[in-house]
Amino acid sequence: MSKVPTLRLDRLLANMGYGSRREVQSLVNAGLVTLDGAEVEDADRRIAVTRDLSERMRIQGKPLDPPPGLALMLHKPLGVTCSHKEAGPLVYGLLPDRWRRRDPAISTIGRLDKDTSGLLLMTDDGNLLHRVISPRANISKRYRVDLERPLRGDEAEIFASGTLMLESEDKPLLPARMEVISETSAYLTLTEGRYHQVRRMFAALGNHVAALHRDRIGGLNLPEDLGPGQYRLLGEADLALLLPSLATGA
């Protein structure tokens, strides 16, 4: 059984974006921080950072934000970039302001380009991030692809063959699974993530992707009721769908 980490309250709240340590001290002095219904009197009190801390602690009467170890799914809209630095709207701007001041910072798990919408995962847990993006994890990702021209009929066979070479690369793609929806649309499921891979795969066969949307990662689906720009925290059951090894402790 792993030991529950503890942190001084002022450091914990400062790292979660609630202000400087001095500002956290002021919140405590004003009686605005409670734990299990009782006011916390000392900002230097060590707090056990448990999974249920958000349910037990209140800051100015509101539940504490998710403590470190946060993971969420975001329905990324079109026109938004997965970056901290690029110009224009960023995915981090869709999160609460305070969350952008957290330390460790929240990062995307992989990326979707500006012109792709759909399921994007984000976390402040470096271990989780690396486990998901590791090629050894072999996590599948499914995309809804809408094309400018009708399918020619042999795409599924070529994508599944594991022999398709993209321009300027010297290693063939891993096999991918395609399911036809209509003559101009399909689902494509990949287990790797090369630069603009889906668009380049169809371009290699003489077609152009008009719209691209990711709706599934591993066993985790983008909920129909999660609209563009909205996010939802992930629980243990969600993470087990994403990485079954998390459910077994492997």
Report, as residue numbers or ranges, the catalytic residues.
Answer: 113
Rounded to a whole number of angstroms, the distance between the first and last alpha carbons of the chain is: 14
> What are the structure tokens assigned to 122, written together?
């984000």
Assess contact for 216 and 222: CB atoms under 8 A.
yes
Cβ-based neighbour number of residue 55 at 10 Å: 11
8 phi and psi angles, rounded to 5 deg? -60, 140
Whole-angstrom distance, CA of residue 242 vs CA of residue 140: 9
Tell me the three state secondary structure of residue 221.
Answer: strand
Tell me the three state secondary structure of residue 190.
Answer: strand
> Nearest 5°: CA angle at 228, between 78 and 93?
75
Helices assigned H by DSSP within the chain? 9-15, 21-29, 53-56, 126-133, 155-161, 197-204, 236-242, 244-248
170-196: string of b/e by CB count within 10 Å (b at 16+)?
Answer: eeebeebebeeeeeeebbbebeeeeee
Cβ-based neighbour number of residue 110 at 10 Å: 17
